Amino acid sequence: MTVMTVQAKPEASDAELVDRARAGDETAFGRLVERHYDFVHRVAWRWCGRAADADDVAQEVCIRLGTAIRGYRGAGAFTTWLYALTLNAARDALRRSVREAARAEAYGVHALIAEGGGPETEPQARSDALWEAVRQLPDRQRDAVLLVHGEGLSHSAAAEVMAISEATVSWHIHEAKKRLTVLMRQAGEG
């Protein structure tokens, strides 16, 4: 009696999936989105601070990825490129949110919007207060902190994502720590 073993097909790498997706393979594109969605959502949540906003940003990244993937040339890791795409989408969402809030305030409907939304369900632990303070930092400082401390990237990898030098990432982290100390004291957490 002969026993046949079926070997599982090895999982395609990101590079293989990207190549196939760029050629129009919808299954490969879907697999890329599926593989990296949690990562995109996590980065978006840390940047935005609210689950609903993170959902919107993650959805926007998936939409942008559909057209932007053709421009990905594979010079760096796919996840590095995806970080940048996610950060740009989060920044755009924040700008849009600020514009909409200003417009709503100008038209006197701010109170109606505030009444329509319920309280956030995320826990309000000290780490949440810290991430809220991180979201108040200037863009470059916030990006550096999110990438290095939120996502665990090295300064070198964060520099690649941010398209700046490693020394500049270190400087942004240093400046962010000084600002965070002040912000946490002001919030009564320090």
Instruction: Tell me the whole-structure pTM to 2 decimals.
Output: 0.62
What is the residue-averaged pLDDT of the chain? 79
What are the sequence ranges of the domains in the chain? 13-119, 126-190
Q: Collect all residues with Cβ–Cβ distance below 8 Å to 48 and sequence separation of at least 6.
A: 54, 57, 90, 93, 94, 135
- Equal fold, 13-119 vs 126-190: no
pLDDT digits (tens, 9 = 90+) for 29-69: 999 999 999 999 998 888 888 888 889 999 999 999 988 88
Please state which architecture CATH assigns to domain 126-190: Orthogonal Bundle (1.10)
Residue 123: DSSP 8-state: -
pLDDT per residue of the chain (190 residues) written in tens, 0 to 9: 555 555 556 688 888 999 999 888 999 999 999 999 999 999 888 888 888 888 999 999 999 998 888 888 877 788 888 988 998 898 888 777 766 665 555 444 434 334 444 444 344 456 677 778 888 889 888 888 888 888 888 888 888 888 889 888 889 888 888 888 888 888 775 5
Q: Which CATH class is domain 13-119?
A: mainly alpha
Residue with tokens 């879907």: 30
